[in-house]
């Protein structure tokens, strides 16, 4: 059985944000794989639709035996279980679980894009990921996380919570 190394980003700006992150981690550990490492929690400015509450974000590294689409389905079910309602792209949410990368895979399906297509444009994803996986090389851009951060035009606030 091949285990894949996966980086996830958790985020949310509704309800008890800290508790929602903790609950998501419990579900992820029980359904998706073995947690290897977690980043600090970051308070971040909203991205995409900026006139909403700040988010709390946390990156996770895990090992999973799930294939990419199985992992996606498990994560979508966890979001639903925690009360996520998808009614507005980039709008307020209780929880969001994004797959940032899976090993060095590149997937470009209608329902799954790996690495995350906006990863290099979002400091709120890059900064926690750098804490966990500073040596990871983006398989499309062939750049490490610190280079991606240096080149990122996102000016949104990202600070340890």
Positions marked active-site: 84, 93, 96, 98
φ, ψ dihedrals at 129, nearest 5°: -65, -40
Peptide bond into 155 cis (omega under 30): no
Q: Where are the alpha helices (DSSP H) in 53-113?
A: 68-81
Separation between Cα atoms, residue 137 and residue 147, nearest integer Å: 10
Q: Classify 19 as helix, strand or coil.
A: helix
Report yes or no: 72 and 111 within 8 Å, Cβ to Cβ. yes
Separation between Cα atoms, residue 42 and residue 45, nearest integer Å: 10
Separation between Cα atoms, residue 114 and residue 88, nearest integer Å: 22
Of the candidates 112, 106, 12, 26, the residue with the CA atom closest to the CA atom of residue 54: 12
């Amino acid at each position: 059985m091949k285990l894949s190394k996966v980086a996830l980003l958790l985020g949310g700006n509704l309800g008890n944000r800290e508790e929602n992150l903790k609950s998501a981690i419990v579900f992820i550990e029980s359904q998706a794989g073995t947690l290897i490492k977690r980043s600090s929690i970051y308070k971040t400015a909203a991205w995409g639709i900026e006139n909403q509450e700040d988010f709390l974000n946390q990156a996770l590294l895990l090992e999973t035996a799930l294939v990419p689409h199985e992992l996606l389905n498990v994560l979508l079910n966890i979001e639903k279980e925690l009360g996520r309602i998808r009614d507005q792209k980039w709008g307020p949410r209780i929880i969001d679980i994004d797959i940032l990368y899976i090993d060095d895979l590149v997937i470009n399906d209608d329902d799954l894009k790996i690495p995350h297509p906006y990863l290099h444009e979002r400091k709120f994803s890059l900064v926690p990921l750098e804490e966990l996986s500073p040596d990871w090389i983006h398989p499309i851009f062939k750049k490490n996380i610190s280079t991606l951060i240096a080149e990122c035009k996102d000016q949104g606030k990202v600070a340890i919570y």
